[in-house]
Chain A
Amino acid sequence: MSRSCHELPEDREVLELSDKILLMGPPNVGKSVFFSELTSIHVVSSNYAGTTVSYMKGTVPINGKQYNLLDVPGTYSLAATSLAEEVALQFLASDPLAIVFVLNAADLEGSIKLLLEVQEFNIPVVAALNLADVANRKGMQIDVEALKRELGIPIVPTVAVKRQGLRELVDELAKVLASIESAAARQGAAAKERARSMDMELWKRAQEITAKCVRWSNSQPSFLDRLGDAMLKPWPGIPIAVLVMLVSIGVVVGAGKALRAALLLPLVNRGIVPLFEALFSRLPLPTVVHNVLIGEFGIFRISFEWILALVMPYVLLFQLVFSFLEDSGILPRIAVLFDNIMRKLGVQGGSLINIMLGYGCAVPAIIGTRTATTKKERLIVTTIVCFAVPCISQTGALFSLLAAYSYWLVLGVLLTGLTVFMLVSILSSKLIKGTVDPLVIEIPNLLIPERRAYFKKFFTRAKHFVLDAEGPMLVAVVIAAILAETGLLTGISSVLKPLVSGWLGLPPEASMSLILGIIRREMSVAPLLALDLDSLQVFVGAVVSLIYLPCMSVFAIVAKEFGAKVAVAITAGTTFTALFLGGVLNHLIRFVVSLV
């Protein structure tokens, strides 16, 4: 088997694992739910520390033995048209023991076609027939026995989000594994040559099988089906999509602000910080140490003020809302409705999903571009996300900063951000060589996310945010405390004064924003909250921090996906643009104001 030319460095270790079972299936069929239900130990490989990969690995105990279960990215085919498909192909070629394949009952034809492709690799397959509830809603009755006969493999009907059928699936898998282990003369990898058929033959065969195994009954389309269809039409789809996005932003920003004002700020200012103040004042500490711990910028003050009260509420609410959008099937509809605008900006509607993901965090957004079919598109989306898409921590911090002055400032920064977004998109699509493929997307059924699976996903993500972001945020806090409380900041500020004060018009202490922004994006905003700024300074500060450096985790992931050169170019580009634009806005607005 020839190795793919785009081999991903981090995959090698996983490819060489023994006792591998692959979890495969088309996108959006609930594979991740299977994964988290089947694996006892939860090892999510997609963390934010730069070891991010596009699959998950866990272990399943079967017949008293531990097997490695790998969640392979969902694809429609194995044609290697995207990086995600190449990853799937690499896994198939890495000599796995067996495959658990998840069939989508609501799109049986498409998933049978992919299954037929997978079966060409001559690896034992056990299939789950998932989403049967959605199929029934559409009036489909699937004859599972006939399907087993046609495909020649064990098939278990499941409703994974409700844990139905999982035990039977594991039992079938155990039987298959037992028969493999007993067949001592297991064929070597060389014997497993792939018998490739044409796509069209596979589709014909899939159609025949589907026709034999599905009975259609007349059913009234449900409310969700009708809503799903309506959301796909320009009218009323576009107004509904705009409304959904506005409500989502409103919930995150509004509830975040309320949570901060009503619960977290009182808790921090009247509970936690006074407690530490009382504690440290009793200890015989040198003044400098005392100040570093609990002074105006002390570690035990700002870590709670910044992380707990400023970042956490917005991050958690964003995850809550975005998980709903992801699970419901709304995002692909938005991608279709706004494909025309994205096309004019040099990309295509499908990229919008990754860009929206970037408003949460840039790291999964950049990894998400692996599903793009061309490198150019991956690069454009990555550039947009690095330049003009603030992550949710930063958005929360910016909103807290700006809303304290005026909602017009919020709007101003928002419009500046959108303008930069469009300019970066148009410019990078002109400058980067290559082509962007047109939109081809499958639109899933609209679903109400199942409560248990939804909250499980939310808690997993929240946990990972705390695990991955807490460290860098604390590092930033400690640096801030040491700089501010030991007098080091005064020295740095006097060096950077021409830039920070002369050019950007900010007080010299704002140099701390530029230093902390290297570590994490929201940390470039947080120090501005403590400074006594006027409206123009707040506006300039917000614009600079919005465009300024991607954080260290983003730098790492860009370097890993595209090489160090691209990461350095993007970093230099964002830094220069942020400082240039900030200064120009500062001088321009001052000039205009002086005329009035």
Chain B
Amino acid sequence: MEGDQMRQNLYDAQPGKEYTVLETPEYKLLSSIGLFSGAKVRMESKYGLGGPVSLSLSTKKIAVGKDLAIQIYVREVR
């Protein structure tokens, strides 16, 4: 129950916090860039007006469009 409460979509994650990816949609480009369940990400920035989110993923930075980010579920690392 507690786990479900902490589950949220990536688009609503907060900049500066770290998250574990729980679930991603079937989208080849995500796994080829290294974003799949189990991956650790740090939310960097969010861009208004339907813009993407940018993340730190190991040593690199990536950006993911809103339409994908709302389908990716994460849990905050405390």
Please list the residues of chain A having a beta carbon within 8 angstroms of any beta carbon in chain B: 76-77, 79, 81, 106-110, 113, 138, 140, 199-200, 203, 207, 210, 229, 232-234, 335-337, 339-341, 343-344, 348-349, 373, 437-443
Contacts and interface: CB of A to CB of B under 8 A. Distances in A.
A76 B64 contact: no
A439 B62 CA distance: 10
Contacts of A443: 54, 60-63
A232 B34 CA distance: 20
B69 to A, nearest CB: 8
Contacts, number: 116
A335 B36 CA distance: 23
B50 A109 contact: no
A199 B64 CA distance: 19
B66 A234 contact: no
A373 B29 contact: yes
B64 A234 contact: no
A203 B63 CA distance: 19
Given A107-B58, A336-B63, A344-B50, 15 more contacts: A77-B31, A81-B28, A199-B36, A203-B34, A232-B45, A234-B51, A339-B52, A339-B63, A340-B48, A341-B49, A437-B27, A438-B64, A438-B68, A439-B63, A440-B29
B76 interface: no
A438 B67 contact: yes
B23 interface: no
A232 B52 contact: no
Contact of B36 (A203, A232, A336): A203
11 contacts: A79-B28, A81-B29, A106-B59, A107-B58, A108-B59, A110-B58, A229-B44, A234-B47, A340-B50, A348-B65, A443-B60
B30 interface: yes
B5 interface: no
Nearest to B68: A438
B33 interface: yes
B52 A109 contact: no
Given A339-B47, A340-B47, A349 B52 contact: yes
Interface residues of B, number: 31
Contact of B59 (A109, A199, A348): A109
B32 A442 contact: no
B49 A340 contact: yes
* Chain B interface main SS type: mixed
Contact of A232 (B32, B33, B50, B61): B61
Contacts of A439: 52, 63-65, 68
Contact of B31 (A200, A207, A210, A373): A200
B52 A336 contact: yes
Contact of A340 (B28, B29, B51, B54): B51
B47 A442 contact: no
B65 A110 contact: no
Interface centre among A229, A337, A440 (most CB of B within 10 A): A440
Contacts of B51: 234, 336-337, 339-340, 343
A271 B50 CA distance: 57
A440 B62 contact: yes
A110 B36 contact: no
Contacts of B63: 335-336, 339, 349, 439-441, 443
A333 to B, nearest CB: 9
Closest 8 CB pairs of A and B: A438-B65, A77-B32, A340-B51, A439-B65, A199-B31, A438-B67, A340-B49, A443-B61
A233 to B, nearest CB: 5
Nearest to B35: A440
A440 B65 contact: yes
A348 B65 CA distance: 8
Given A343-B65, A349-B52, A113 B44 contact: no
B34 A113 contact: yes
Contacts of A81: 28-29, 32
A46 B65 CA distance: 31
Contacts of A373: 29
A107 B60 CA distance: 6
Nearest to A437: B29
Contacts of B44: 229, 232-233
A107 B33 CA distance: 11
B40 to A, nearest CB: 10
A442 B59 contact: no
A106 B39 CA distance: 19
A343 B59 contact: no
